[in-house]
Amino acid sequence: MTTLTTPKPTSACATRHAYRSFAGSTLALARREFRDALASRWFLLYTIAFSVLAIAVSFMSLAGSGSQGFAGFGRTTAGLLNLIMLVVPLMAIIAGSGTIAGERERGTLLYLLAQPISRAELLLGKYIGLAVALCCSMFVGFGLSAAVLAWRAGGAGLSSFFMLIVFTCGLSLSMLSIGVLLSVLSRRSGVANGLGLFAWLLLVFVSDLGLMAGTVLFKLRVQEVFAIAIINPLQAFKMGVIVNMNASLDVLGPVGMYASLTYGNALPWLLAAVIIGWIFMPLALALVMFTKRGGV
């Protein structure tokens, strides 16, 4: 008698099936997180606040430019720079700090982990959903600001404004990664939010003051000051936006002059790489810690 056996799937087929299952579960969780973010009050509040501030900066830039075209977009980009460095990191890091810690505190994390999904799928799904929600929130503000500028000053100089949007999205994703890492480390959402606020203050205020004090106290060389400065994703963001505005980094003093002379055309890529590194490194660390952690 001939025995019929069912052929076993090859390893390549099994790998493709596992990848499709992983991607499908992750995207399903991302859609759920995105819908929850759109329905939350923080998303509406941040979107309205950022949009109002962006439009206000646009009108002030137009009123002070005295001309049209690039002056409108260029002045608005410069005006939005400091606003973004304050508001966007706070938005992203607080949003990220409530992901896992919030689910853990509400007791829903155990329910989610009981579903046929892995810890990696859960964390990545929540991160992707929040990342899309944050980018959409900023696109609303930037879109309204660009509409005002196009209406009053034309479309010249739009490329610098577009690069501002790209760098801002990168900055928000890096801060979101830091927030997610703090959320994984915390048992309660209040602790995670407190750590997020501390990290925000450290990056926004203490780093600048500490760098200036350290330069004077330890008599740091220009090369060392530049290396320490670009470790901070906010400083990398600021320099990246200034460079892509076709403006000189001489406004940043000797450090800016050293960066321009040393790296030249490679400087924008170096600064972008720093921001990308801050996106993936905290997220990878959070992923490893969350997947290896026992219990909830």
Identify whether 14 is part of a domain. no
Identify whether 1 is part of a domain. no
Supply the pLDDT for residue 1. Answer: 42
Identify whether 16 is part of a domain. no
Identify whether 13 is part of a domain. no
Supply the pLDDT for residue 15. Answer: 58
- pLDDT band for position 17 (cuts 50, 70, 90): low
- Structurally, how many domains does the chain consist of? 1
DSSP letter for each residue of 54-69 = HHHHHHHHHHHH-S-T
Supply the pLDDT for residue 20. Answer: 61
Identify whether 8 is part of a domain. no
DSSP letter for each residue of 278-296 = HHHHHHHHHHHHHHH----
Identify whether 262 is part of a domain. yes
Tens of pLDDT, residues 166-209: 999 999 999 999 999 999 999 898 999 999 999 999 888 877 77
Q: With a cut of 70, say whether residue 214 has pLDDT above it.
A: yes
Tens of pLDDT, residues 139-171: 998 888 888 777 766 655 677 788 889 999 999
Supply the pLDDT for residue 14. Answer: 54
User: Rounded to whole angstroms, what are the CA distances from 168 to 116, 157, 175, 206, 240?
Assistant: 35, 18, 11, 21, 10
Q: With a cut of 50, say whether residue 87 has pLDDT above it.
A: yes
Identify whether 3 is part of a domain. no
Supply the pLDDT for residue 34. Answer: 92
Supply the pLDDT for residue 247. Answer: 63
DSSP letter for each residue of 170-190 = HHHHHHHHHHHHHHHH-SSHH
Identify whether 185 is part of a domain. yes
Structural contact between residues 95 and 130, judged by C-beta atoms closer than 8 angstroms: yes
| Residue 166 domain boundaries | 23-292
